[in-house]
């Protein structure tokens, strides 16, 4: 979602005659698109802002913009302590960036728009400067109605707003016409999508029917909104890829309850079983938080055992980070940093080993790879329908093509392959 927001900002600026440069030192305008999910990201942002402030002292014509979740969260406070900033926008005001930049230029003062009630879908589709040559991100919904105790997102992005299916389909048709073979539908809880009597399975069916689309993905799914209809859509719709990112966060019922995730360990495992019953080859990835307030070693072991029993294709593990305005902030952040790190290492170690074993078992098999990256002269890479990365020998002209590949090697994070056939 952040990547897509940056693509929108880049496109809006390009439409005003700006062009992308490689480093801030070459830029007339630097826009920092911020993330507030963990403290680490906000610290990195503050450091970047200090560096840019220093750069601006030597080059006063440099303009600095800040947007995204930290801007929304810290608002006027950020404005007051960051005089180097020229443009400050919240999560719903990206469209106004060029206009605010002109305003800042003409007044010599910071131009601010933090109106969270503005229309978040008002950036014209055609403007987005897609960063990936093959995959276009398309927003299905914004915001989040959940109340997870640890998560700042509902405060920064506001409640759920669903985009009309007709608008989503029109954008997909447009990006496919521009040559993007793959679409990824975006939403904080994308599978909770509901608009004018249509649910997420209906939306997938509508988008799947767009002529010329090769692959359809979506992220992020919430376990409580995985239905049998969604499992059937994954099974039956030809372009929908068999891959779901399904954050579990913890394997302990006590922790899940305190997190207010809305499901138990058993219910999560039932959801996984439902998906695998309909789509046996479905790939699942997940997010896990370690060191949540009060998490005991035994509760962490329950997370490890859940991760072991599901066998995720990918796992993103995070140390719990207290965030402003969340209900978990009232709880004592009592797991020591060192212990959080130990738990992360245990999980990551297990996951890396599992991924290597799983990938090694794929050697000798064939799969379809949509080529999306040029790795170097004569080397390209792409992804299988299950979102697994495969590196190949092949010319640049394979970019955007689906090739049938024989898997010849495996590491824990990617596969090696040999082209057996150009599919299309």
Where on the chain is the footprint of ligand SAM (CB under 6 A)?
Answer: 37-38, 144, 150-151, 153, 188-189, 220, 222, 247, 249, 287, 289, 318, 320-321, 323
Q: Nearest CA to 310 among 270, 343, 349? A: 270
How far, CA to CA in Å, does 229 sit from each of 234, 239, 274, 290? 9, 16, 11, 32
At closest approach, how far in Å is the CB of 289 from ligand SAM?
Answer: 5
Helix ranges (DSSP H) in 83-124: 97-107
Closer by beta carbon to ligand SAM, 10 or else 151: 151
At closest approach, how far in Å is the CB of 204 from ligand SAM?
Answer: 18
Query: CA 319 to CA 322: how far, in whole Å?
Result: 10
Query: CA 77 to CA 309: how far, in whole Å?
Result: 46
For helices 39-58 and 69-81, what crossing angle results, to 10°?
50
Beta bridge partners of 419: 405
Q: Are 279 and 231 in contact (CB under 8 A)?
A: yes
At closest approach, how far in Å is the CB of 273 from ligand SAM?
Answer: 21
Strand 389-393 and strand 379-383: the pairing is antiparallel
Residues whose CB falls within 8 Å of the CB of residue 393, separated by 6 or more in sequence, listed in order: 378, 379, 418, 419
SS3 281: coil
At closest approach, how far in Å is the CB of 124 from ligand SAM?
Answer: 26
Length of the chain: 424
Q: Are 127 and 173 in contact (CB under 8 A)?
A: no
Taking CA 304 as the corner, what is the angle to CA 302 and CA 310, rounded to the nearest 5 degrees? 100
Query: CA 8 to CA 129: how far, in whole Å?
Result: 6
Q: Are 270 and 277 in contact (CB under 8 A)?
A: no
CA atoms within 13 A on the CB side of 421: 6
Q: At 79, list the tokens.
A: 């404005």
Q: At 402, list the tokens.
A: 């689906």
At closest approach, how far in Å is the CB of 251 from ligand SAM?
Answer: 13
Tell me whether the omega of the peptide bond preceding residue 296 falls within 30 degrees of 0, making it cis.
no
Question: Residue 217: which H helix or E strand, with range?
Answer: strand 215-219
Beta bridge partners of 370: 383, 402
Residues whose CB falls within 8 Å of the CB of residue 377, separated by 6 or more in sequence, listed in order: none
Q: Which residue number is nearest to ligand SAM in terms of Cβ?
A: 287
Q: At 138, list the tokens.
A: 């398309």
């Amino acid at each position: 979602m952040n990547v897509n927001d940056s693509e929108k900002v880049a496109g809006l600026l390009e439409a005003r005659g700006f062009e992308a440069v490689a480093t801030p030192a070459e830029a007339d305008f630097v826009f920092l698109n911020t993330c507030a999910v963990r403290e680490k990201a906000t610290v990195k942002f503050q450091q970047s802002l200090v560096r840019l402030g220093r750069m601006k002292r030597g080059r006063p014509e440099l303009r600095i913009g800040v947007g995204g979740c930290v801007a929304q969260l810290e608002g006027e406070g950020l404005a007051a302590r960051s005089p180097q900033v020229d443009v400050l926008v919240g999560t719903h005001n990206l469209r106004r960036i060029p206009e605010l930049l002109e305003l800042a230029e003409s007044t010599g003062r910071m131009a601010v728009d933090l109106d969270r009630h503005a229309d978040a879908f008002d950036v014209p589709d055609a403007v987005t400067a897609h960063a990936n040559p093959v995959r276009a991100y398309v927003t299905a919904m914004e915001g989040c109605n959940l109340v997870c105790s640890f998560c700042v997102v509902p405060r920064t992005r506001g409640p759920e707003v669903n985009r009309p299916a007709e608008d989503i389909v029109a954008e997909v048709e447009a990006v496919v016409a521009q040559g993007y073979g793959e679409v990824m539908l975006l939403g904080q809880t994308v599978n909770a999508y509901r608009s004018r009597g249509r649910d997420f399975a209906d939306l997938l069916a509508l988008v799947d029917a767009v002529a010329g689309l090769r692959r359809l993905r979506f992220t992020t799914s919430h376990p409580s909104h995985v239905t049998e209809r969604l499992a059937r859509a994954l099974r039956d719709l030809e372009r929908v890829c068999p891959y779901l990112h399904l954050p579990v966060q913890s394997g302990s019922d006590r922790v899940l309850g305190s997190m207010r995730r809305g499901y138990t360990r058993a219910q999560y495992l039932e959801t996984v079983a439902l998906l695998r019953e309909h789509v046996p080859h479905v790939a699942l990835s997940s997010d896990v938080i370690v060191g949540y307030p009060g998490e005991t070693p035994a509760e962490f072991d329950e997370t490890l055992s859940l991760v072991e029993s599901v066998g995720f294709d990918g796992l993103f593990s995070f140390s719990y980070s207290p965030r402003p305005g969340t209900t978990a902030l009232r709880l004592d952040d009592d797991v020591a940093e060192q212990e959080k790190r130990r738990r992360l290492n245990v999980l990551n170690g297990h996951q890396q080993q599992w991924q290597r074993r799983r990938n090694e078992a794929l050697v000798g098999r064939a799969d379809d790879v949509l080529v999306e990256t040029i790795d170097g002269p004569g080397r390209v890479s792409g992804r299988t329908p299950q979102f697994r990365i495969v590196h190949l020998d092949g010319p640049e002209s394979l970019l955007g093509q689906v090739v049938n590949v024989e898997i010849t090697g495996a590491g824990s994070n990617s596969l090696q392959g040999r082209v057996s056939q150009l599919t299309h």
